[in-house]
Amino acid sequence: MKALVYTAIGEKKLQDHPKPEISAPTDAIVRVTKTTICGTDLHILKGDVATCTPGRVLGHEGVGVIECVGTSVANFKAGDHVLISCVTACGKCVYCRRQMYSHCTTGGWILGNSIDGTQAEFVRIPYADTSLYPIPEGADEEALVMLSDILPTGFECGVLNGQVKPGSVVAIVGAGPIGLAALLTAQFYSPAEIIMIDLDEGRLTIAKTFGATATVNSTDGTAPEQVMKLTGGIGVDTAIEAVGIPATFEMCQKIIAPGGVIANIGVHGKKVDLHLERLWDRNISITTRLVDTSSTPMLLKSVGAKKIDPTRLITHHFKLDDIIKAYDAFGHAADTHALKVIIEA
Ligand SMILES: [Zn+2]
Ligand SMILES: [Zn+2]
- The pLDDT tens digits for 178-205 are 999 999 999 999 999 999 999 999 999 9
- Looking at residue 81, its pLDDT comes to 97
CB 65 within 8 A of CB 30: yes
Measured CA to CA in angstroms, residue 157 lies from 53, 67, 70, 205, 260 at distances of: 27, 33, 33, 24, 15
pLDDT tens-digit readout, 122-165: 999 999 999 999 999 889 999 999 999 999 999 999 999 999 99
pLDDT tens-digit readout, 4-48: 999 999 999 999 999 999 999 999 999 999 999 999 999 999 998
Between vectors from CA 178 to CA 113 and to CA 306, what angle results, nearest 5°?
Answer: 110
Measured CA to CA in angstroms, residue 68 lies from 22, 74, 185, 229 at distances of: 8, 12, 34, 58
- Looking at residue 48, its pLDDT comes to 86
Assign domain 153-287 to its CATH architecture.
3-Layer(aba) Sandwich (3.40)
**Structural domain spans, the chain:** 2-149+292-344, 153-287
Helix axes 201-209, 177-186, angle to 10 degrees: 20
DSSP 8-state symbol, 158: I
The closest ligand to the CA of 103 turns out to be: 2
DSSP 8-state symbol, 189: G
Tell me how far the alpha carbon of residue 100 lies from the centroid of ligand 2, in angstroms: 8
- Helices (DSSP H) in the chain: which residue ranges? 39-45, 94-97, 128-131, 141-145, 150-153, 177-186, 201-209, 223-230, 246-255, 276-279, 296-304, 323-331, 333-336
Top CATH class, 2-149+292-344: alpha beta
Tell me how far the alpha carbon of residue 83 lies from the centroid of ligand 1, in angstroms: 14
3-state secondary structure of 124: strand
CA-derived radius of gyration, the chain: 20
Tell me how far the alpha carbon of residue 264 lies from the centroid of ligand 1, in angstroms: 15
The closest ligand to the CA of 58 turns out to be: 1
- Looking at residue 243, its pLDDT comes to 95
**CA–CA separation, 78 vs 67, rounded Å?**
5
